[in-house]
Each structure stands twice: as structure tokens, then as C-alpha cells.
Amino acid sequence: MTELYTPRLLLRPWKPEDAEPFAAMNADLEVMEHFPGCLSRIESEAMLERMVHHMRTKGWGLWAIEAPGVAPLIGFCGLWTVSFEAPFTPAVEIGWRLARPYWGNGYAFEAATAAMNFGFDALNLQEIVSFTIPANIRSWRLMERVGMTHNPADDFDHPRLPEGHPMRRHVLYRKTRGNSLSS
């Protein structure tokens, strides 16, 4: 399974001791503000299992982010095979979530840059997408910082949310190979 190194971070496979800080992050109202809800301990463990399975079967995925000298787990970032059908699928998305104390340090940008470069350079992906709700300004600003672009014609209704749900409408960002940060 792949590990990625950046100047301040290690993106690594998950360990059993990550379960507790991962659940705490997923139970934080501020971290989960732009999701339909916080995750219960059971939901958090189920998500962790899906991430471990993806990582084991593909060798890459949503990595645990360790900040050596700061904390053994500050969040996650990485690549994920989009698991629902939409006009832009099949696709690989880039995603991220940091525990609240670690926002505002450029850690997500640093991790996302490494994951994005891995997707283009090691996996040879043609395109990486990302999506969120318009209100999640921190997330779509990060998408823009890593060089992704938004075409309003790509915006879509998330099929996992019911019609009329206030978070159903999503903005889609894309980045195509050839303008990766390392090339």
C-alpha cells in the first residue's frame, strides 16, 4: 500500500488506533457542518472499513494524515472511486477532512497536492474531480488552490440525497491531466 510524504505530513494506510480520533472528528459539528449529519461511532467505523477495503484492494485511496511531531492523526485526504452514478461518472474524486484544530495551516493543501500528483503521475488518471455544496467555501477554495476548475454546467443533484434536501445541489470541480502541479 502506498504512502506519500510531503514536507510536513505523512499520508499513510490506516491503523487500529486511528479509529478513536477519526470518530471524534466525524462527531464534530463544525467539521460536519456541510454534510447531512455527524457520524455516530458505528457509522464512523463503517466508513473506516470502506476506506481500509479500498486501500487494500487498490493500493491507494483516502489516506490517514499523520503530522509527525504534531499529531498521529489530523484527518484524511486522498483519492476515491466515485461510488454513485452521475453525469461525470465513472470518475476518481479527491477528498479531504481535517479535525478542527488543524485547519488554517495549509495541511489540506499540502496533502491534496501530493494526492493529486500521485493520481496523475503514478495512476496515470486522465481526470480527477471533486464536489461539495456551494456553502462549503473552505472546500471549494481548496479545490481552486489545487488547480481545479468549475463549470456551472457540471453542477448536479447528489443522487444519495432525497429530492428537496437542502444539500442536494453540488458544485463539481475538475482537473485534467497535463496541468498537474508537478508537470
Interacting residues with ligand COA (CB under 6 A)? 31, 34, 96-98, 103-109, 132, 136, 138-139, 142, 145
Instruction: Tell me how far apart the alpha carbons of residues 67 and 89 are, in angstroms, rounded to a whole number.
Output: 33
As to burial, measured by CB atoms within 10 angstroms (0-12 exposed, 13-18 middle, 19+ buried), residue 63 is: buried
Q: Which three cell numbers stand for residue 37?
A: 449529519
104 versus 162: smaller Cβ distance to ligand COA: 104
Q: What stretch of H or E contains 117?
A: helix 107-117
88 versus 109: smaller Cβ distance to ligand COA: 109
CB of 10 to ligand COA, least distance (A): 16
60 versus 140: smaller Cβ distance to ligand COA: 140
14 versus 59: smaller Cβ distance to ligand COA: 14
CB of 44 to ligand COA, least distance (A): 14
Question: Residue 169, Cβ neighbours under 10 Å: how many?
Answer: 13
User: What residues have CB less than 8 Å from 86, skipping those under 6 apart?
Assistant: 156, 158, 159
**Helix axes of 107-117 and 137-145: crossing angle, nearest 10 degrees:** 50
CB of 17 to ligand COA, least distance (A): 21
CB of 163 to ligand COA, least distance (A): 21
